[in-house]
Structures are given as structure tokens and as C-alpha cells.
Amino acid sequence: MVLKDKLIHLYKRAIAEVQKLRDKLSARIAANTNEIHRSYWALPPETRARLRLVIICTSILMLGIVIGLFVNVNRPVKLEKSDKVLKVESTGAMELKLPGVELNPNIYVFQDATLVTVPVELKVPGRLAFNAEKSKVLSARAPGRVERIYAFDGAAVEVGSPVIELYSPEFISAQQEYLLSSKTAKVLESNKTMSDLLGDAQITQQAAANRMRNLGAGDGDIKALEKSGKTQTNLIMRSPLQGVVVKRAVEPGSIVNAGDVLVTLANPKELWFLGNIFEQDIRKIQKGQTMILRTESYPDKEFVATANYIAPTIDPETHALLIRCDVENPDGLLRPDMYVSARLKTAEAEAVVVPQSAIVRVREMRYAIIKIGKDSYRRFAVKGYDLDGKRFAVTEGLEPGMKVLTDGAVLLNDRFAKQEE
């Protein structure tokens, strides 16, 4: 009885404590509720409207989540079986049947294969370079000091444009020699009694003028010197061609000796194509042949090049023969050191020409797909070469009259691949 009384006493105490906690919680909830009500009604009408909208949207979202937990949306879908059949031949060709499947003619386009005459071309990889025969090097003709540079790397120059200004004691000496011989010749011309010395004086004057030319002065500089009668401290070296400054080897203030290279000039509109001919194709090339160049920078443009040099030896590293061609670049689109691909026509052949979209490329193989029946298709390997980046010449595999899939070949090839798996 004592144990029972203790248990009853503990139970009543627990009930009393729970009641106290519930009363405290209810009082706190009521206080918080009243506080929320006061805060809510203290808000502006526009804010209360937005708050109600948020609560409604949240309630709808929660209701959707609850409904989704009790409703099974992943009901099984019954798929109709297809009687697709794939037949693999010993040659590697595949025949696919799609009973009851009609290909969309707007996506899958078939064309009749026909034979046409196409050029047999040799691909020649290579790069462009400045035409060294048309390039010029300005070098110091006498010791001196670089005072000024007019044209830096990449600058465009015209014939006669100033490039470098050079201080040279020898140039000053040559000018003085020319002025002295010129004055002597004029004095002798006015004195008829000394006419026998006039010829020697004129020869000395011409020699002085040639010395100035050898140092880099132009005829304009000589005429200006004779007209002014005053020597120039610095020699201005001018461009002998129209082009650009390719490379500059000196800086302002540099001391140079006779023979030192100052700048290299070249014409960007006159280039060379340097191509590599592999040993098996050497017999197909000769000087004077015309090549068509293409570059990724201008895929829709063709540039003409004429072979002017074939190296006498094979490069021991690449085992290729160097061929050099003059390139016409009137618009200046091509740039030196640009990689290009040349095509050289060596013969003609009969081939089936199809768009590039008709060829399925799998690793190193090329495949074509033809229609052999109402719902039957065949995929097999073909051989050929690219014509112009847009067309492909099939030399082996396709026969005239075959219905070749020209558009949608990649999509239909996926069906072959899935059935093969």
C-alpha cells in the first residue's frame, strides 16, 4: 500500500507540473499572438496585402507537395515493341529494317547517285612567308650612331619614306668633298683658260656624288646639298620599296659599324607559299604548276599560287620535299607564317559527288547510307576525298542509280549504332 501511495503521489505531481507548463506555454502563445496581431495591424495596408499574398502562395505550394507525396506520378507506360532488324554482312556493311517506320522527308533526304568528272588533287600542307626576293635590308654603310627611328616594327612605308636617321662622320666628309668639287667645277666653267681641267673636276664631282650614294644618300639629298651649299649633320636612310618594317635590329642611340643590319623591309602583298611534298607524290609536281590555297581564316576564299622552286634534296627530318610558290595577295588578307593548305590538280577521274552531310565519319572510316527498299537501309564504307570543304567525291563504294541519304545521315546512323549494341 505504501508503494502504491507513493506512485499515486508522483503521478499527481507530474500532472500538476505538466499543467503548469501548459498554462505557461498557453500564456506565452497568447502573448505572442496578441503581439503578432498588433504588429500586423500596425503595418501599412500595402504591406499587409503583400504579406497575405505570400502566405497564400506558400500554402498552395505546401498543399501541392502533400498531394504529390500521396499520388504516384511515375505510372508505368506501355511501349509498343518494334520489329527492327539489323543484319551485319561479312564486309562490315550493315542492313537495317524499320518495319512500319516512315522517315520524315523534311529531315531525311535521298538523292540518286550520278557519276561526274572531278579533278584528282594533291593536298600540300605548308605555311606562308615573305617573298625574300622582294624583301630589302637596310644596313649601315659606314660607322655611326642611330639618332632617330621613323618607322618601327610593323609600320607601313612607301618608296622614299624615311626609316632611320644616322649620324656618320664619313657622310659629313663625303658632303664636304662633293661641295668642294662642285665649287671647283663651277669656277673652271667660268674660266675658259682652264677648260682642260674642267673634265677632271667634273669626274671628281661625280665620284663624290657616288660616294654619297654608297653611304645611303639619295639623288634628292644630293640635289638639296648642291642647292643649299650646306652639309647635313645626319644621314636619313629611306625605304627602297613599298611595304612594312618586318624587323628592327637597333634602338635610338645604338652605335653601328659598316655592314650592321638596321631594319628588314618586305612587301606583304608579295608572299611565298612553302609546302611539303611527301616522297610518294614527288613525281606529280613540277615548276610552273598552279595551286589553289585555302586557309581557315577565309574558308570561302581561294588564293592562287604558282610553283617557282622545287628543292633538290629531301628534308632529313620530315622526309618531305620543299616546294615554293609565288602567292598573289592583292587585298593583303594573307599573313606571313599563316598555315594554309594547297591543292594541286594532277589528273581527272569519275566519281559520285555528294554533300559533306552525306558522309558519316567514324574514326578514320567514311560511311554512306543508301535506301534499298521501302523500309530497308544499308550503311557501308566508301573511299574518296574532300573537294572544296562542302562536297565529297566518292571514288569507291557508290554506284550510279543508288539512292543516297544526303541529309539526316548522322541521325539514321544513330539507329544503326543502337541496333548494333
Per-residue confidence (pLDDT) for residue 82, from 0 to 100:
46
Residue 73 has pLDDT above 60, yes or no: no
169-198 mean pLDDT: 75
Q: Which residue has cell 574518296?
A: 384
Instruction: Look at the alpha carbons of 372, 376, 380, 383 in this order and tell me if their dihedral is positive or negative.
Output: positive
Per-residue confidence (pLDDT) for residue 193, from 0 to 100:
56
Residue 35 has pLDDT above 90, yes or no: no
Per-residue confidence (pLDDT) for residue 105, from 0 to 100:
86
Among 112-116, 188-192, 275-279, name the one with the lowest average pLDDT.
Answer: 188-192
Rounded-to-integer distance, Cα 60 and Cα 76, Å:
28
Per-residue confidence (pLDDT) for residue 265, from 0 to 100:
94
Among 2-6, 124-128, 260-264, name the one with the lowest average pLDDT.
Answer: 2-6
Three-state secondary structure readout of the chain: CHHHHHHHHHHHHHHHHHHHHHHHHHHHHHHHHHHHHHHHHHCCHHHHHHHHHHHHHHHHHHHHHHHHHHCCCCCCCCCCCCCCEEEECCCCCEEEECCCCCCCCCCCEEEECCEEEEEEEEEEEEEEEECHHHCEEEECCCCEEEEEECCCCCCEECCCCEEEEEECHHHHHHHHHHHHHHHHHHHHHHCHHHHHHHHHHHHHHHHHHHHHHHCCCCHHHHHHHHHHCCCCCEEEEECCCCEEEEEECCCCCCEECCCCEEEEEECCCEEEEEEEEEHHHHHHCCCCCEEEEEECCEEEEEEEEEEEEEEEEECCCCCEEEEEEEEECCCCCCCCCCEEEEEEEEEEEEEEEEEHHHCEEECCEEEEEEECCCCEEEEEECEEEECCCCEEEEEECCCCCCEEEEECHHHHHHHHHHHHC
Per-residue confidence (pLDDT) for residue 421, from 0 to 100:
56
Among 75-79, 194-198, 204-208, name the one with the lowest average pLDDT.
Answer: 75-79
Q: Given its phi and psi angles, is residue 338 left (phi above 0), alpha (psi -120 to 50 degrees) or beta?
A: beta
Residue 70 has pLDDT above 70, yes or no: no
Rounded-to-integer distance, Cα 126 and Cα 307, Å:
13
Partners of 303 in beta bridges: 293
300-314, pLDDT tens digit by residue? 888 999 999 999 999
Per-residue confidence (pLDDT) for residue 326, from 0 to 100:
93
Per-residue confidence (pLDDT) for residue 16, from 0 to 100:
78
b/e 354-390 (16+ beta carbons within 10 angstroms → b): beeebbbeeeeebbbbbbeeebebbbbebebeebeee
Per-residue confidence (pLDDT) for residue 251, from 0 to 100:
92
Among 76-90, 338-352, 363-377, name the one with the lowest average pLDDT.
Answer: 76-90
Per-residue confidence (pLDDT) for residue 130, from 0 to 100:
93
CA angle 276, 280, 286 (to 5 degrees): 60
Three-state secondary structure readout of 295-331: ECCEEEEEEEEEEEEEEEEECCCCCEEEEEEEEECCC
Reported pTM: 0.58
Rounded-to-integer distance, Cα 286 and Cα 64, Å:
80
The winner for highest mean pLDDT among 37-46, 76-85, 388-397 is 388-397
167-195 mean pLDDT: 77
206-218, pLDDT tens digit by residue? 887 888 888 878 7
223-277, pLDDT tens digit by residue? 888 788 788 888 888 898 999 999 999 999 999 998 899 999 999 999 999 999 9
